[in-house]
Copies of this chain bind each other. A is one copy, B any other.
Amino acid sequence: MSQPHYVLTLSCTNRPGIVAAVSTHLFESGCNILDAQQFDDTESNCFFMRVVFNPLNGAPTLEELRQSFSQVAERFSMAWTMRDRAEKRRVMILVSKFDHCLVDLLYRRRLGELPMDLVAVVANHPRETYGSLDFDGAAFHHLPVTKETKLEQETRLWELVRETGAEVVVLARYMQVLSDGLAAKLAGRCINIHHSFLPGFKGAKPYHQAHARGVKVIGATAHYVTSDLDEGPIIEQDVERISHRDTPDDLVRKGRDIERRVLARALRYHLEDRVILNGQRTVVFTD
Q: Given the known A-B contacts A24-B20, A200-B199, are A216 and B236 also in contact in the complex, defined by CB atoms under 8 Å?
A: yes
B237-A213 in contact (CB<8A): no
When the two chains form their complex, are residues B197 and A198 in contact, meaning their CB atoms are under 8 A apart?
no
Q: Given A132-B134, A200-B200, does the pair A214, B16 have CB atoms closer than 8 Å?
A: no
With a CB–CB cut-off of 8 A, which chain B residues contact A31? 16
Partner of A19, one of B19, B213, B216, B237: B19
The answer to whether B38 and A19 touch across the interface, beta carbons within 8 angstroms, is no
Is there contact, CB below 8 Å, between A36 and B33?
no
Name the CB-closest residue of B to A24.
B20
Name the distance in Å between A218's Cβ and chain B's nearest Cβ. 10
Of the candidates B19, B245, B287, the one whose C-beta lies within 8 Å of that of A33 is: B19
Judge whether A70 is part of the interface by a CB distance below 8 angstroms. Answer: no
Chain B neighbourhood of A235, CB < 8 A: 216
Task: Report the bound CA distance from A284 to B244 in whole Å.
Answer: 7
Contact assessment for B287 and A246 in the assembled complex, using a CB-CB cutoff below 8 Å:
yes
* Minimal Cβ-Cβ distance residue in B for A40: B34
* Residue A139 lies at the interface, judged by CB distance under 8 Å to chain B: no
A239 beta carbon closer than 8 Å to chain B: yes
- When distances are taken between beta carbons in the complex, the residues of chain B under 8 Å from A167 are none
Q: Are A283 and B244 in contact (CB under 8 A)?
A: yes
> Hey, which chain B residues are within 8 Å of A217, CB to CB?
197, 219, 237-239
- Does any Cβ of B come within 8 Å of A234's Cβ? yes
Provide the residues of chain B in CB contact with A42, threshold 8 Å: 247
Nearest 9 A/B pairs, CB to CB? A214-B281, A20-B23, A20-B27, A19-B23, A200-B200, A16-B32, A216-B237, A20-B24, A244-B283
| Chain A interfacial positions (CB closer than 8 Å to B) | 16-20, 23-24, 26-28, 31-43, 56, 100, 103, 107, 110-111, 113, 131-132, 134, 197-201, 212-217, 219, 233-239, 243-247, 250, 253, 256-257, 261, 278, 280-284, 286-287
Known: A198-B200, A216-B234, A217-B219. 14 other contacts (CB 8 A): A16-B27, A16-B31, A16-B33, A19-B33, A20-B28, A23-B23, A34-B40, A35-B39, A39-B244, A113-B253, A198-B215, A214-B234, A243-B284, A257-B261
